Amino acid sequence: MTKVYLMLAATIAVASASPALATAVAPAAAAPKAAAPAQQSLTRAGLTKNLDSTFKVIDTNGDGTLSTAEISAAEMKVLQNRAGAVRSRLETEFGKLDTNKDGNLSKAEFMAAAPGGPTAAPNGAPALAQLDKNKDGKVSLDEYRAPQLATFDKLDTNHDGTISQAERQAAQAARRK
C-alpha cells in the first residue's frame, strides 16, 4: 500500500510540475486558464495549490482519499492522453511523408524524407590551415589541442583547472551580449 502512495505522490508531483501532464489528468473544466511561462519559478504555496487541485481531480468520489480505483483511473487517463498525442504526431508525420495523399507510403515517398548524403567530398584543407600553426603541412597533438585548451583557459577565470557553474554562466552571459 505504501508503494501505491509513493507512486501516487510521484505522479502528482510530476503532474503538478508539468502542465501537459496536469491537464492530462484534469478534466477540461479543471484545465489551467492560461499557459504558464516556460521558466516559471515554483513556490511551495504554488506547489501545494497544484497538488491540491490534482488530488481533487483524482478523488472522483470526493471522500478526501484516493482509492486504488481512482489512482488507476487517473493513470489510465494519462496513458490514453499520451497515446493520443503520439498518434497525433505520427499522423502529422505520415501526412508530411505521403506527398501524393493516397493514404499509403511508397518507398519513394519514404526515402524522399531520408537525409541525403554529402553533396561534396570533404575538404580538410581549411581545418589544416587553421590548426597548422607552424605551417609544416601537418597538425601535431599540441596544435590540435591548442584552440580548445585556450578556450578552456579563457573560461576558467580563477585558473583552478575547473570550469564551475558560475564561470559557465558568466561565459554564456558574455556570449549573449
Mean pLDDT by 10 residues, the chain (177 residues): 46 45 40 49 85 94 93 94 95 92 91 84 90 92 92 91 90 91
Give the pLDDT confidence score for residue 20 in this predicted structure: 39
What span, in angstroms and rounded, lies between the C-alpha atoms of 40 and 19? 11
| Best CA proximity match to 78, nearest among 25, 140, 134 | 25
Please, are residues 46 and 32 in contact by the beta-carbon 8 Å criterion? no
For residue 116, the model assigns a pLDDT of: 83
Buried b (16+ CB within 10 A) or exposed e, 126-154: eeeeebeeeeeeebeeebeeeeeeeeeee
Q: How far is CA 66 from CA 48, 59, 81, in A?
A: 17, 6, 21
CB atoms within 10 A of CB 22: 22
Return the C-alpha cell found at 176: 549573449
Predicted pLDDT at 117: 81
In 3D space, the residue among 99, 71, 84, 103 whose CA is nearest the CA of residue 6 turns out to be 71
